[in-house]
Structure 1
């Protein structure tokens, strides 16, 4: 009789949680070596459960789980520590990043480099350096799109493969990739030299840190990435984005 596989000491973050019964939860977890997985945490809602204070979003964990079904059983979870829970806009930004992963990552598809980038952006969100928030999000968005194969090469025009002209303006658009910007795209485009800088940063040995530095001051990047992400998520506005807008309108 085959025995179910058990995984121990796996780095992970909780992306989302659902009620499964009066006492248990279903967790959507992003793990370093196994990708996005679903786990059932039996008894996690009970006041006496060891899981109750640990299974929080945006906190680094080490988990153990087992089973061969689509939803596996959580056997253990330990808080790694060293991470402050984000608050305010940073907390909403964390939920936004989690929503991107839930919508764009397939189950059981490992992305260790993306996991490392996620851990890095969570650290930025929990830090006191608010000026790094937007660059941190842009860097993660770029790395996410590249990791799942939705970001074209940023050092050439996508359809023609022609080299970018350093001073010419180019826009990143769904399906078309990187194209020469028209007159109506000037505010949502970057110079060829800027796109080339981004490509070099993505290819760096420490891509998140290098890209975080490269995107600083590139405000025109935000609407382009937002449009591209919404397109691939299949929604006009993400839920967390709409929540941010609603709160700003209060």
Structure 2
């Protein structure tokens, strides 16, 4: 059976779990091959060179071998090196990074290539590891929007979903998980004006989706990202299915202490 070798592939570890007493299965987001599963044999041994490298939210270069067709298989990790660039995020930024990892785990199909999304994710991780100040909220909302648009789960944001009627710039609309974008009703708490939805639609249609979306969110202050949060969280959870995202439950538990 033919074996292909993938060398020096840009990657981030999304999740890992035990495979045996000494080995790990890694869920890895790669730039050119999407989300792949790799077995790191002997990675748990004290003498393993992998022990200090296989960390989440750290840019890596991985080498692995692919046997047979290569689709849907667990491949063998042959090498991994830290690509450098930033320290590990901490505090709320660490939890936010783990939340993004869980989104990618739940929403990305195995071995579907998403190079622009990989680059966006890498940039967001750098922000999380930096002195990001009050930017955390728009950073996360921008990534959620870009991710949902990239994988085809975000409706067009310049028209009402059911009627395809153009939005009224002054009227308020809400994004609902099962119905898309619709005119706000009296009991809707989280809504945005038509002009805000149109601005987000335009930003997501540009070359640098993430940066344009982020600038749109911060341009109107914290309120826009705050109003967008419950709408996107409901849409994300709808497409992730049950159970609730573990990182979100953890955040809720910490806030209740």
TM-score, normalising length from structure 2?
A: 0.94
Q: Does 1:122 align with 2:121?
A: no
Match of 1:210 in 2: 212
For 1:112 and 1:182, the matched residues in 2 are separated by 39
For 1:113 and 1:184, the matched residues in 2 are separated by 38
For 2:83 and 2:243, the matched residues in 1 are separated by 36
Match of 2:233 in 1: 226
Deviates more, 1:63-72 or 1:26-35: 63-72
Deviates more, 1:71-80 or 1:200-209: 200-209
TM-score, normalising length from structure 1?
A: 0.96
Deviation, 1:156, is 1.1
For 1:159 and 1:242, the matched residues in 2 are separated by 32
Matched position secondary structure for 2:250: helix
Match of 1:73 in 2: 76
For 2:241 and 2:38, the matched residues in 1 are separated by 26
Q: Does 1:248 align with 2:250?
A: no
Deviation, 1:238, is 1.3
Deviation, 1:92, is 0.6
For 1:211 and 1:66, the matched residues in 2 are separated by 37
Match of 1:189 in 2: 191
Deviation, 1:230, is 0.8
Q: Which runs of 5+ in 1 are unaligned?
A: none
Q: Does 1:61 align with 2:60?
A: yes
- Structure 1 contact 25–45 (Cα < 8 Å) conserved: yes
4+ aligned runs moved over 4 Å, structure 1:
none
For 1:235 and 1:189, the matched residues in 2 are separated by 25
Deviation, 1:213, is 1.3
Deviation, 1:61, is 0.6
Deviation, 1:236, is 6.0
Match of 1:113 in 2: 116
Q: Which runs of 5+ in 2 are unaligned?
A: none
- Structure 1 contact 12–63 (Cα < 8 Å) conserved: yes
1:1-250 aligned within 5 A: 2-68=1-67, 70-185=73-188, 187-216=189-218, 217=222, 218=224, 219-235=226-242, 237-250=244-257
Deviation, 1:117, is 1.3
Deviation, 1:249, is 2.0
Matched position secondary structure for 2:44: coil
For 1:192 and 1:209, the matched residues in 2 are separated by 21
Q: Please, what is the CA RMSD of the aligned residues? A: 1.1
Aligned pair count reads 248
- Structure 2 contact 6–66 (Cα < 8 Å) conserved: no
For 1:116 and 1:170, the matched residues in 2 are separated by 31
What per-residue deviation string (whole Å, max 9, x for no partner) do you get for residues 161-210 of structure 1? Answer: 1111101011111121111111111x211000000111111122111111
